[in-house]
Amino acid sequence: MSVDVIVVSSSSDKLRPSIIDAAGADVKNEYENEIEKDKNIQFLVTSSGNLNCKKIFFLRWTPNSDETILRQTIEEVVTNSIQQARNSNFKTIAFPAI
C-alpha cells in the first residue's frame, strides 16, 4: 500500500531510527543535515528514500503522563500533519504507532 506522507515522531528513539533505516542512506543524510542546522527543529520534511511514499514528515513530539495534555498534543500533531499535507497537495497520510 502506498501513501503520500508518513508521519514520524522525531522524538521517538524506536520508531524514528526504524523508519530512517528502512528509508535508506539518503533520508538519513537529509535528516542529519537538517538536525545539524537546527537541533530544535519542530517539523522536518525529507524525501521518501526506499519507502513507498512521497515524503516523510518528522515532527517533534514527546508523550506526557497527563492524559489531558497527552490528548491535546496528539490532536495538535495530527492536525498540523494533515494541514501540512494539504498545503503540499498530498491526499493520503500514515501515522505509524507512536
**Residue ranges per domain, the chain?**
5-94
Residues 32-87 have pLDDT tens digits of 999 999 999 999 999 999 999 999 999 988 888 899 998 999 999 999 999 999 99
Task: Give the per-residue pLDDT at 2.
Answer: 86
Task: Give the per-residue pLDDT at 15.
Answer: 92
Residues 12-39 have pLDDT tens digits of 889 999 999 999 999 999 999 999 999 9
Task: Give Cα 6 to chain centroid, integer Å.
Answer: 6
| Grid cell for residue 59 | 515532527
How sure is the predictor about 98, in pLDDT bands with cuts at 50, 70 and 90?
A: low
CA distance 88 to 26: 21
Class level of CATH domain 5-94: alpha beta
For the chain, the average pLDDT equals 93
Task: Give the per-residue pLDDT at 53.
Answer: 97
